[in-house]
Structure 1
C-alpha cells in the first residue's frame, strides 16, 4: 500500500479496510490480522495499527475479543452504510476540488457524464 502525505496513515488504512469489507475481501464476522501483523504487512508503526483498530471499533465496524483478536461486525445494517459513507467522502472531495476551480454544477455534470460514458465504453470492449 502506498501512502499519501496529505492524509494521516491511520485514516488511509481505515479506508482500505472499509473498502476490503465493501468488496467482500473481508467478510462480516471475519477476523482481522493482529496489530503486529497489520503493522508488518503494511510497513507501519504498531501504534498506528492499534489506532486503526481503535478507530474502526469506535465507528462500530469491529469488535475485540480479549485473547482472540479483532473481528468485523456482523451487523449488516452497519456494514451496508460503509459503501455509502466511502462514496460520500469521495464525492465531497471531488466537488471541493471542482468548486475551487470555480466550475459550475453544469460543467461538473458535463465532465462526469462524459467520463462515465468513456469508462462504460472501455469496459464494454
Structure 2
C-alpha cells in the first residue's frame, strides 16, 4: 500500500509511481502491468481510479492495452528515454524554483550539489 498525499489527485500519484518504476527499470518495455482490479486491491483505491491511470498512461504513449490480454509497457526506447528526461526536467525545475525562493545563487547551489552528490545513494 502507498501513503497518498491528500493535496495531489490519487490518479496522478499512481501515474507517477508507475513512471518511476519504468525509469528505474523495475518495469521494462513489454512487461505486463497488473490488471486494474489487482492494482486497485494492492493500492486500496477504487478500480475506476486505476482505469483512469491506465487510460492516461496510454494517452501519453507509455503503455499500450490489448483488449482481453492486458496493459503493457511500450517497448520504444526513445519514448522511454523521453519519459525519463521529462520527469527529471519537472523535478529539476521545481528544485531550482525552491532554491531561488531562498535566494541561493547558482554558484552556491553548484557548490552544494557537488558537496552532497556523493552522500546521496
The corresponding residue for 1:23 is 24
Moved over 6 A (4+): none
With 23-32 and 110-119 compared, the bigger mean Cα shift is at 110-119
Cα RMSD of the aligned pairs, angstroms, is 1.5
The corresponding residue for 1:94 is 95
Give the superposition deviation at 1:65: 0.9
Q: Distance in 2 between matches of 1:79 and 1:8?
A: 24
The corresponding residue for 1:71 is 72
The corresponding residue for 1:36 is 37
SS at match of 1:60: coil
CA 1:118–1:68 in 2, change beyond 3 Å: closer, same or farther?
A: closer
Unaligned runs of 5+ residues in structure 1 are none
Q: Distance in 2 between matches of 1:14 and 1:115?
A: 29
SS at match of 1:118: coil
TM-score w.r.t. the length of structure 2 is 0.89
The corresponding residue for 1:53 is 54
Q: Distance in 2 between matches of 1:84 and 1:3?
A: 24
CA 1:118–1:27 in 2, change beyond 3 Å: closer, same or farther?
A: closer
Q: Distance in 2 between matches of 1:13 and 1:96?
A: 25
Q: Distance in 1 between matches of 2:95 and 2:7?
A: 15
Unaligned runs of 5+ residues in structure 2 are none
The corresponding residue for 1:118 is 119
The corresponding residue for 2:13 is 12
TM-score w.r.t. the length of structure 1 is 0.86
Give the superposition deviation at 1:81: 1.6
Deviation string 1:25-62 (CA, Å, 9 cap, x unpaired) is: 11211111111111111111212111111111111011
